[in-house]
Each structure stands twice: as structure tokens, then as C-alpha cells.
Chain A
Amino acid sequence: MKESTGFGRAVLAILWKDLAAELRGKELLSAMLVFALLVILAFNFALDLDPKTRASVTSGVLWVSFIFAGTLGLNRSMATEQDRGCLDGLLLAPVDRSAIYFGKMLANLVFMLIVEAVVLPIYSALYNVNLFRPGLLLMVVLGSVGYVAVGTLLAAMAAQARTRDMLLPLLLFPVIIPVLIAAVKGSAAFLAGSAWADVSSWVNLLLAYDVLFLAVPLMVFDFVVEE
């Protein structure tokens, strides 16, 4: 019992540290947001988003912008720890290493959800569609969890490499293909108002991915931060 509260407190402490640091500067959040909107803008002209095309590509456009913006956030979250030598301090603290992983993961998740919470209403207003459906929001949350779960682990590794900013997307994108497919297809199905039977397999796939890729880093994160 005592152990678990200690673990939870360590996770929350790391989460809070990241959020407090971000709230002071807001550099990362604003960068992620502007980037996400720029991606949507680029798609607007690249795909000529007239009402007919939009119906079929909305969820794809949204997810690509989330994932690109997410990469920015993931790169930054570990790079700053590295540059300021904060990671060494964290490692000296008498907490479970996986608490560090969960803390960082939750912080990245919060950043991504904030970006999504801003992008969704803007997209709704710009293109006159209602994106606030419970099913779509569920997909957004499940997809973001899966993306951030793997992303935090791989970002911690990429931060140690010589080519770190370049390396993260190369490591991350092929591994998260299942998340991308399930999230895009599931969101599109919810937007089209499909029956639950058509969407349930995507939800299940995302759940399976989320569970698997929250469990694996728990076991291997020790080896990533080990000196």
C-alpha cells in the first residue's frame, strides 16, 4: 500500500514538474498548436478541402496534424531533460524508474490533449462540422494514449543519439502504424455515424495496443535510463 502511494506521488510530482515548467514559458504548447494548425492549412490547399472531399479525409487530416505536433512535443520533453542534466537528478531520486516514465508519459499526454482540445473546435468552426461527438473524443483519447506511450519510450532513446531530432520520427512512425490506422478509421466511422458494430473492432485494437505499449515500457524503461 505504502509502495503504491509512493509510486503515485512520484508520478504526479514529475507530471506536475513538467506542467509547471511549461505553464511558465508556454513555448512548447504554442509551438505544437501553431504547427498543428499549419499542417491543417497545408492540407487545405494540398487536398483542396471542398465539402465533398472533406467528409472522407477529415479524420486523416486531424490525425496527421496531431501526430506531427506530438512529435514536436515528444522530442522536446526528453531533450530538455537531457540538456539541463535534469535526468541525472531524477535518476538520483529514490523513486522507481518506471515512475519517471509514467510521469513523462502523462505530461506528454496532457500536452497532446490540450493541443487536440484547441484544434478540434477550430477545425469545427473553419469547416463547419461538429467534431464534438463522444465516440470521436474516445478515439482521440485512446489514440493519443497509444501514441504517447510508445513515443515517450522512444523519445527517451532518441534523445541520447547524435541525430536525435531526426531519429525520433524514423523510430516512431513505423511502430505506431496500427494506432494511426485504427484511430483514423475509427474516427472516420464515428464521424459518419456508423453503428457500434462497425467501430468496435477499431476501439478494441486501440485498447489492445494501449495496454501492450503501456506494459512493455514499464518493463524496459529501466534499461533506457540506466547509466
Chain B
Amino acid sequence: MQKYPKTLLLLDLATVLLLAVATVLVFAYAPLERTMGAVQKVFYFHVASNWVGMLGFLVAAVAGAVYLVKGTRFWDVLEVAAVEIGLVFSLIGIVTGSIWARPIWNTWWTWDARLVTVTIMVLIYIAYFLLRQGIDDPGRRARYAAVYAIVGFLSVPLTFFSIRLFQSIHPVVITSTKAQLSPRMKTVFMFSLFTYTVLFADLLWHRTRLGQLAAHLETLRQKMLD
């Protein structure tokens, strides 16, 4: 059995505390936005969620590259963990973005470059899990997943850029609202980003432990069969 590391426990506590403080800041400290009203407050955790999504996919690509060089199972486990967390938070980001857009842009969805890029990213990383499911040999599965994590991540900026270009030629129905943040808003925003980065580290650690436990179970099963 794995022992529960003390550092992890501390990280858990820090995450819960930070999340609580961030929530209080969002609702009590951040001022009410004049034109958008209360819904503007979704923005703090919405951007932070998408930030965690991007961070997850970045960590996955790096872990994939390290796996290809070193070939140790830890990096494969870390990569899966990062993709899974990135996927969950990207989805949260998309849904909360829709909820914000409904009263502000008067529609749940628009083909804005950021929205489409995030959606394509989600599709890439769903395909990532389908690829893993389709391959039985663990070594090969890990190698292919690592390659796809790298290829997928590299295509993301190009996707974003191409959609940007696509829109600059088409008329843009809704221009991005360049909201000027007041100093208070900026503080809350930065604090939320920091909180979510800690949250990401905490979840990544937990999910990696889970992956290692699952790998341990797999070797035990193999031993039983032999």
C-alpha cells in the first residue's frame, strides 16, 4: 500500500484554503461590473479553468517527450493524468463560457477563435483516450500516446492562428470584449489563477498516484496469471 505523503496532505489543505479564499474574494471583494452585472464574476474561475486545461495539455506534451527519451512508466502515468485533468477543466471552461455568453453575447455559442480552438483541443484529447483504448500492448500504448500528445499539442497554436485568420477575412459578428479590469478585479483574477495552479498540482499528484496504483494492480494481475 502507498503511504499518504505529508507534502501531499499539506498541498490538499493549501488547495482547499486557497479555493475558499478565492471564492470569498470573487463574491465579496471583487466589485460588480457596471455593464455585465453579476455574471461577470464567472470570468475569474472560467479563465482559471481554461488555464488549467492548457497547463494540463502542456504538461502532457512535455511528459510525453520525456517518456519517449527515458521510457520509464512514471512519465506515461503523469501524461495520462495531465490529459485527463486538462480535459475535465477544458469542459468546465466551455460550459461556463457558454453560461457567460448567453446574457452578454445573447447566444450560447459563437464561432470565436478561442471557443473553436478549445473545442478542437477537447476532440484531440478524446481521440487520445480512444487511441489508448485501442492498443493492448502497454509499451506500445504508452509510446503512441506520447507521440499523439506531442503532435496534438503542437497543432493547437496553428489551429488558433488559422481560425483567427479565418475570421479576420469574414465579418466578425461579435468583437471580443476587451474588458478593462479595475485594480481590485485584477487582484482577484491573479489570485484565482494562482489558486487554480495549486489546485492543478494537487489533482495531478492525486491522479498520478491513482495511475501508479492501477499499474501496480496490473502487474499483480500478471503475476497471478503466471
Contacts and interface: CB of A to CB of B under 8 A. Distances in A.
Interface stretch (A68-76, A109-117, A131-139, A173-181): A173-181
A224 B147 contact: yes
Contacts of A171: 127, 130-131, 148
B151 A153 contact: yes
Interface in A132-187: 150, 153-154, 157-158, 160-164, 167, 170-171, 174-178, 181-182, 185
B162 A220 contact: no
A220 B147 contact: yes
Nearest to A201: B165
Contact of B148 (A157, A162, A181): A157
A185 B143 CA distance: 35
Interface stretch (B6-14, B26-34, B94-102, B132-140): B132-140
B145 to A, nearest CB: 9
A222 to B, nearest CB: 9
B17 interface: no
B143 to A, nearest CB: 5
B154 A160 contact: no
Interface stretch (A10-18, A22-30, A208-216): A208-216
A66 interface: no
Nearest to A163: B134
Contacts of A208: 158
**Most chain B CB within a 10 A radius of its CB, from A157, A162, A216:** A157
Interface string A191-227: 0000000100110010011001100100010011010
A185 B166 contact: yes
A223 B146 contact: yes
B152 interface: yes
Nearest to B135: A161
Interface in B138-178: 140, 143-144, 146-148, 150-152, 154-155, 158-159, 161-163, 165-166, 169
A28 B68 CA distance: 34
A166 B154 CA distance: 23
A167 B143 contact: no
Contact of B155 (A162, A167, A175, A220): A175
Nearest to A222: B68
Nearest to A176: B155
Contacts of B147: 153, 157, 220, 223-224
Contact of A177 (B68, B130, B151, B155): B155
B213 interface: no
Interface residues of B, number: 29
Contacts of B127: 167, 170-171, 174
A209 B158 contact: yes
B169 A185 contact: yes
Given A171-B127, A226-B143, A178 B135 contact: no
A209 B160 CA distance: 13
Contact of A157 (B136, B144, B165): B144
A177 B158 CA distance: 9
Contacts of B123: 174
Interface in B51-79: 68
B130 A178 contact: no
A30 B161 CA distance: 36
A178 B155 contact: yes
Which 4 residue pairs of A and B lie closest in terms of their CB atoms, listed nearest first?
Answer: A161-B134, A178-B158, A178-B162, A181-B162
Interface of A: 150, 153-154, 157-158, 160-164, 167, 170-171, 174-178, 181-182, 185, 198, 201-202, 205, 208-209, 212-213, 216, 220, 223-224, 226
12 contacts: A153-B147, A157-B131, A171-B130, A174-B124, A177-B155, A178-B161, A178-B162, A205-B165, A223-B68, A223-B146, A223-B147, A224-B144
Given A160-B140, A209-B158, A223-B143, 20 more contacts: A150-B151, A150-B155, A162-B136, A164-B134, A167-B127, A170-B130, A171-B127, A174-B123, A177-B155, A178-B155, A181-B163, A181-B166, A185-B169, A198-B169, A216-B151, A216-B154, A220-B68, A224-B143, A224-B144, A226-B143
